[in-house]
C-alpha cells in the first residue's frame, strides 16, 4: 500500500469499499513506524490494542455494508499533551512519566466517535514549551526531511509523523505557534482554530487563555475534515463556544476570486530569511493570479508580541503547573523526609530546565509589586494586538504572512540560547494572543530542500475562509 499517496477520503473510501481493511491499514502504519521511527522519534507510546479494536469495529461496519463515519478507519496520532484513557500520557515530561489517565480528551473522543483509529501518542516539548522539540524529557525528534534538523515544536512529533507517513493525520496543540511552526518545518499543513472552537477538555494545560487543539495533515482538505470532527461546543469546557460548525469541505471549495488578502509589512522586516521571503512572496503572487486582491495592511504592535506572549504564557503556566506536586498523580521523589521537601524534590526531579525557567519567569511576573509592571502591562498590550487585527479585518478577509522567519534549524543550534529560540515564534504568537485562527500551508523549499510555510490568518470563527484560501493555493501550486 502506498501510504504516501493516501488521503483521509481515500483511506475511508478504500475501507468502505472493502478494497482494504481498517485493520490492515493500521498494521501498515505500525510497520512503517517500526521501520522509520527509530531514527525520527515521533512516537512516545503506541496504543495498538485500542487501535486494532477500533479498526475491527470499522471493518465490521463496512462488512455489513453500513456507511462509515467521516474518519472511518483513518489512522491518526495524538500529541502527548492530550489525555487518553488507559494509554500513558506524559506531556513530554518525567513528572508524568507513568501517568495513565482515567478519561479521554474531548477532541480524541470525538475523533474516535468519527471512526478514527488512534495509533499512539506523539512526542513533544515538555508541557508544549519549546519550538524545536528538544525540550522533550524523552528524546528529541528529527525532521524527516533532514535528520540533522529539528522538526519544530512543540508539536514536533505530530508534524514529523504526518510528514514521514507514520500517521495519516495528527492532533497538535498551539499556544504560541506549536501547530503552525512544526507544520511549516516539516512540509505539512497545520491548522490552529479560533480560541473556543475546539474543546480543551483533557488537554494538559500550558497557558489556558492561549491553548488550542488542531490538526496537522498532508492536505488542506484533510485539515478541514478533521476540524469538522473535533469542533463545537462541549459542556466539559466552559470556554468552548456555542458557534455553529460549518461544513468546512463545502466552504473550502468556494472560489477565492475577489477575496481581499492583507499583507503586513511588519511580517516582512529584518530577521526574515531571504529564501523564506522569496517563497512566501511567490505564494502571494500566485494567489493574486487566482483572482485575489492583495491589500497592504498594518499591524503596528507586532513588535511587542514576543515579550507579551512570554509574560502571559509563563504567568499562566506557573499557575497551571502548580498542580504537579507528587501527591495525587505523577512522579514522587522517594527520599524526602518532610512534606515540603517531597514537593520540592518531586518538582525538581520531575520538571526539565525549560519548564523550570517558565515557572520562575511566570511566578516573578505575577508577584506582588511586579504584577502591574509586567502582567497587567502585557494584558494591555494584548488588547492592542487584538485591535490591530480588528482594524485590519475591516478591510481584508484574511492575512498572509510567513509562518516562521527561517526554515528548520539544526538540532542543538539554539538550545543554549532561549532568547533566540523564543524569537523563532515571532510570526505565530500574534494570532494566539488575538484568539484568531491561522493555518500554515507548504509553499516551496529552500535551496537545501527545506520546506517553507505560508501562514494565513483569519477572523474569529472564520476558519472556513482561511481553509478556502489555503486550498486554492494548494490547488494552484
DSSP string, 138-175: S----BTTBTTB---SSSHHHHHHHHTTS-SEEEEEES
Q: Does 178 bind ligand GLN (CB under 6 A)?
A: yes
Q: Which span sits near ligand GLN by CB under 6 A: 163-171, 173-181, 341-349, 412-420?
A: 173-181
Interacting residue with ligand GLN among 128, 189, 231, 256 (CB under 6 A):
128
Taking CB under 6 A as the rule, does residue 439 contact ligand GLN? no
Candidates 79, 121, 218, 414; catalytic one: 79
Q: Is 79 a catalytic residue?
A: yes
Find the binder of ligand GLN among 70, 176, 326, 402 (CB under 6 A). 176
Query: For residue 179, what is its C-alpha cell?
Result: 501547530
Q: Among 339, 404, 406, 461, which Cα is nearest to 176's? A: 404
**DSSP state letter for 374:** I
Q: Does 463 bind ligand GLN (CB under 6 A)?
A: no
Between 11 and 311, whose beta carbon lies closer to ligand GLN? 311
Per-residue CA distances from 30 to 166, 218, 370 (Å) = 7, 18, 51
Nine-digit cell string for 69: 463515519
Q: How far is the CB of 340 from ligand GLN (least distance, A)?
A: 29
Spell out, one character per residue from 347 to 386, where the chain touches ligand GLN: x when CB under 6 A holds, - when not: ----------------------------------------
Which is closer to ligand GLN, CB of 154 or CB of 406? 154
**Listing from the earlier edge strand, what are the strands of the sheet with 43-46?**
43-46, 117-122, 75-79, 169-174, 212-217, 189-192, 438-445, 451-458, 398-402, 260-264, 293-297
**How far is 297 from 127, CA to CA, in rounded Å?**
35
Burial 409-436 (b: 16+ CB within 10 A, else e): bebebbbeebeebbebbbbbbbbbbbbb
Per CB under 6 A, 123 contacts ligand GLN: no
Binding segment for ligand GLN among 123-131, 324-332, 345-353, 437-445 (CB under 6 A)?
123-131
- Our CB check for ligand GLN shows the closer of 131 and 184 to be 131
Q: Which residues make up the interface to ligand GLN (CB under 6 A)?
A: 128-131, 154, 173-178, 206, 313, 425
Residues annotated as part of the active site: 79, 154, 178
Amino acid at each position: 500500500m502506498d501510504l504516501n499517496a493516501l488521503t483521509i477520503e481515500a483511506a475511508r473510501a478504500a475501507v468502505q469499499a472493502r478494497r482494504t481493511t481498517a485493520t490492515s491499514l493500521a498494521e501498515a502504519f505500525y510497520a512503517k513506524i517500526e521501520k522509520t521511527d527509530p531514527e525520527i522519534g515521533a512516537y512516545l507510546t503506541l496504543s495498538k490494542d485500542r487501535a486494532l479494536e477500533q479498526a475491527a469495529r470499522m471493518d465490521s461496519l463496512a462488512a455489513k455494508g453500513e456507511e462509515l463515519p467521516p474518519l472511518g478507519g483513518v489512522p491518526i496520532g495524538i500529541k502527548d499533551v492530550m489525555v487518553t484513557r488507559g494509554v500513558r500520557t506524559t506531556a513530554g515530561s518525567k513528572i508524568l512519566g507513568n501517568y495513565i489517565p482515567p478519561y479521554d480528551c474531548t477532541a480524541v473522543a470525538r475523533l474516535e466517535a468519527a471512526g478514527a483509529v488512534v495509533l499512539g501518542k506523539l512526542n513533544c516539548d515538555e508541557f508544549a514549551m519549546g519550538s524545536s522539540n528538544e525540550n522533550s524529557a524523552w528524546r528529541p525528534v528529527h525532521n524527516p526531511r533532514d535528520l540533522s534538523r529539528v522538526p519544530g515544536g512543540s508539536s514536533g512529533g505530530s508534524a514529523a509523523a504526518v510528514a514521514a507517513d507514520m500517521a495519516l493525520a495528527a492532533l497538535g496543540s498551539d499556544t504560541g505557534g506549536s501547530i503552525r511552526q512544526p507544520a511549516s518545518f516539516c512540509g505539512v499543513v497545520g491548522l490552529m482554530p479560533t480560541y473556543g472552537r475546539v474543546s480543551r477538555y483533557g488537554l494538559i494545560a500550558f497557558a489556558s487563555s492561549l491553548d488550542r487543539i488542531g490538526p496537522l495533515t498532508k492536505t488542506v482538505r484533510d485539515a478541514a475534515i478533521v476540524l469538522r470532527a473535533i469542533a463545537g461546543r462541549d459542556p466539559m469546557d466552559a470556554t468552548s463556544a456555542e458557534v455553529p460548525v460549518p461544513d468546512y469541505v463545502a466552504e473550502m471549495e468556494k472560489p477565492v476570486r475577489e477575496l481581499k488578502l492583507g499583507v503586513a509589512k511588519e511580517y516582512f522586516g529584518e530577521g526574515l530569511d531571504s529564501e523564506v521571503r522569496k517563497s512566501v512572496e511567490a505564494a502571494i503572487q500566485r494567489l493574486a493570479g487566482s483572482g485575489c486582491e492583495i491589500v497592504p495592511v498594518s499591524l503596528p504592535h507586532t513588535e511587542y508580541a514576543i515579550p507579551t506572549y512570554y509574560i502571559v504564557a509563563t504567568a499562566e503556566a506557573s499557575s497551571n503547573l502548580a498542580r504537579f506536586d507528587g501527591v495525587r498523580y505523577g512522579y514522587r521523589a522517594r527520599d524526602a523526609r518532610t512534606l515540603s521537601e517531597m514537593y520540592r524534590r518531586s518538582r525538581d526531579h520531575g520538571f526539565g530546565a525549560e519548564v523550570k525557567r517558565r515557572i520562575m519567569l511566570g511566578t516573578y511576573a505575577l508577584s506582588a509589586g511586579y504584577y502591574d509592571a509586567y502582567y497587567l502591562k502585557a494584558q494591555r498590550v494584548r488588547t492592542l494586538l487584538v485591535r490591530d487585527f480588528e482594524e485590519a479585518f475591516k478591510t481584508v478577509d484574511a492575512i498572509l504572512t510567513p509562518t516562521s522567519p527561517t526554515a528548520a534549524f539544526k538540532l542543538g543550534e539554539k538550545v543554549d540560547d532561549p532568547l533566540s529560540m523564543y524569537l523563532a515564534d515571532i510570526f505565530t504568537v500574534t494570532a494566539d494572543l488575538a484568539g484568531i485562527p491561522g493555518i500554515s500551508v507548504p509553499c516551496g523549499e529552500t535551496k537545501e530542500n527545506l520546506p517553507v510555510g505560508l501562514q494565513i490568518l483569519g477572523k474569529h470563527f472564520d476558519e472556513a475562509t482561511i481553509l478556502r484560501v489555503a486550498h486554492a493555493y494548494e490547488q494552484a501550486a
